[in-house]
Structure 1
Amino acid sequence: MSVETPVRVAVSDAHQLRVKSLPSWSPWAAAVAAIAVAFVLIYLTSYGGTVLTGVVAAILFVIFMGIAAAVVEGRRSARNRMATILIYGAFILALLPLVSVAWTLISKGTARLDSNFFLTSMNNIGAFDEKGGAYHAIVGTLEQAGIATLITVPLGIMGAVYIVEYGRGFLANAIRFFVDVMTGIPSIVSGLFVLSFWVFTVTPLFNNGRAGYSGFAAALSLSVLMLPTVVRSTEEMLRLVPGALREGAYALGVSKWKTITSIVLPTAGPGIVTGVMLAVARAAGETAPVLLVAGGLSSINFNVFSGNQSSLSLFVFEQAGVASEFAPGRAWTAALTLVVLVLVLTIAAKLLARRNKLAR
């Protein structure tokens, strides 16, 4: 009985075994072509400027790449390539404002980065004096934001612990609802609340009937703004802690409060720190509450409980409206100082949170 030998199918062209794809230089060629066409159609014909030329070039780049991919790779691969280009484009589009803000702050805010700016105040500084600094505003920002953080963080964390670990029924839902409502209130509303309650009602009882503007009142106003952010962020982080950790602790006979303080909170620590720093960043950049209840001051005042006080955000607001050629430089440098201050605090808090072994 004869056995038939299987017939081999000869492949004449080795390229048929490979999927066709665009060469690696094709995106650069498409980008150059898109820029050239947009430059000719928009810029040279005076239909628009640089911004419109860039927008048209981006649209043409997507079209050129889609056509090239459809011809060479097929329609399915072309759709995938275009989706990838759009995702990268959205990322770049979202990144542009951040880069622009950072570049503007650095380029304009370094003009007054000197010892005089950080070691002097605006006391007795006239419109024609190029000196003067923000030492009093830096002191006010650190004291106000620090006191607001000391007030808000314990209240916010305890409120979130109650909602997640203990709260059930109507009360927990009501607290969550009002926290959500407070998240979107304007900053001037919190300033007016503290102005009417603390400055005009409470402080006259201990100040011979006179209203008491102070940095502490500004800290109270900032804490009203920070509280909902801390509560909501802490609540979400606590919900992400696996239930198995709680159950394991309960199985070993650990009480509920000790499980929360020793297991749940340390595990959610990095996320809680992130939420706290977001709240601190918002509080440090608020102007309206400080203007309403602290009043602002051009000289140094270390006593946060008595007398007017300034802050960096209020200093930027005041200098931006001063009719002096030296005021814009102070405003930009103060804005850069505020951003760097928040950045340093955030990095320090992140480094402290990373030292927690349970959170790794």
Structure 2
Amino acid sequence: MTNVASPAPAGVGKASSFLEISGKRKATDNFAKVIIYLCMALAIIPLVFVLWELISKGLPPVLNAEWWTQDMLGTMYHQSGGGALHAIIGTLVQTLLASVIAIPVGIFTAIYLVEYSRGGWLGRTTTFMVDILSGVPSIVAALFIYAAWITVLGFERSGLAVAWSLLLLMMPIVVRNTEEMLRVVPMDLREAAYALGVPKWKTIARIVLPTALSGIATGIMLAIARIMGESAPVLILVGTTPALKWDPSGGPMSSLPLMMLDMYKAGLNPNVLDKMWGAAFTLVLLIAILNVGARIISAKFSVKQ
């Protein structure tokens, strides 16, 4: 008598195949997670090392009240004492001058490209010019301002010339970031406002911009962080001074990047190194404060989803 094996149910083979595929997917997913976490750890290691070096060497000088209230006038670089008030004020003034022009012009340019351009020749030309400016090195922007502002127009080297150079570096970042944030805003919000009879300009001002405010503020802070640490413009367009100066229209005007370069050229004296690390820590601290302030402002005034 021959025994005939009964065929397996049709669903058993499909279930085993599904489990096999599911197991492979889980293994691949776990492997990808391990690779991602490993890359993240490798990226964090140099960041932690840099922050540790910056805080450990730059924090002690800035804990002294003189650092925030005095300049370096009358104090030699290799001597102890003195402060960075002149460099802090110079950095803030130059950055403020550039931001006052770059931020509104960049935002209005992005609004035109997203809301009004419609693919016209002016929009295409503007996009092309923004792309070019995005790739311009800081040294090229500084040389352009030197040729146009100082050589051709006859103005002297000053903090204002530095601000013009920083403006060229900051504007394309603001335009590109604002443009992307405006495109993220759902079109349904615009159409709902138009259906209620709200004018286009008021829709942009009351709905589109507040909705994208958080991302726009983040992009502006990234642009400010970039220009605050630029060294090429201050090397070419303004002279250094150890004295506090508020007027950027003419003459030497210090800044934190320029102060660090001056300290580096002064030699490897311990006092010089302390001041150099203190200037670096102060620059990072100012950028961090601006970022926190921008996050608070955007969280307060942006539209709640």
Shorter-chain TM-score range: 0.7 to 0.9
Residues 186-228 of structure 1: CA distance to partner in whole angstroms, max 9, x if unpaired?
A: 10111111111122333x3xxxxxx422211111111110000
**Equivalent position to 1:189, from 135, 140, 150:** 140
Offset of residue 333 of structure 1: 0.8
**Equivalent position to 1:304, from 236, 248, 264:** 248
Q: Which residue of 2 aligns with 1:170?
A: 121
Offset of residue 359 of structure 1: 4.6
Residues 13-55 of structure 1: CA distance to partner in whole angstroms, max 9, x if unpaired?
A: xxxxxx9xxxxxxxxxxxxxxxxxxxxxxxxxxxxxxxxxxxx
Offset of residue 294 of structure 1: 1.7
Residues 135-174 of structure 1: CA distance to partner in whole angstroms, max 9, x if unpaired?
A: 1000001111111111100100011011111112332122
- Count of residues in Structure 1 that have an aligned counterpart in Structure 2: 281
Q: SS at 2:247's partner residue?
A: coil
- Confirm or deny that 1:325 pairs with 2:270: yes
- List runs of 5+ in structure 1 lacking aligned partners: 1-18, 20-73, 205-210
**Equivalent position to 1:282, from 208, 226, 231:** 226
TM-score, length of structure 2 as denominator length: 0.87
Offset of residue 76 of structure 1: 6.4
Offset of residue 127 of structure 1: 4.6
Alignment-mate amino acid for residue 282 of structure 2: T
Cα distance in structure 2, aligned partners of 1:77 and 1:120: 61
* 8 Å CA contact 1:269, 1:359 repeated in 2: no
- Confirm or deny that 1:95 pairs with 2:44: yes
- List runs of 5+ in structure 2 lacking aligned partners: 1-18
Q: SS at 1:133's partner residue?
A: coil
Larger radius of gyration: 1
Aligned-residue CA RMSD (Å) = 1.7
- From the superposition, tell whether residues 80 and 158 of structure 1 become closer, same or farther in structure 2 (CA, over 3 Å): closer
Cα distance in structure 1, aligned partners of 2:179 and 2:198: 22
**Equivalent position to 1:112, from 37, 41, 61:** 61
Offset of residue 132 of structure 1: 2.1
**Structure 1 vs Structure 2: percent identity of aligned residues?**
43
- From the superposition, tell whether residues 359 and 287 of structure 1 become closer, same or farther in structure 2 (CA, over 3 Å): farther
- Confirm or deny that 1:180 pairs with 2:131: yes
Offset of residue 77 of structure 1: 5.3
- Confirm or deny that 1:233 pairs with 2:233: no
* 8 Å CA contact 1:266, 1:359 repeated in 2: no
Q: Which residue of 2 aligns with 1:269?
A: 213
Q: Which residue of 1 aligns with 2:73?
A: 123
Q: Which residue of 2 aligns with 1:260?
A: 204
Q: Which has the higher contact order (CA 8 A, sep 6+)?
A: 2
Alignment-mate amino acid for residue 199 of structure 1: I
Alignment-mate amino acid for residue 293 of structure 2: A
Q: Which residue of 2 aligns with 1:157?
A: 107
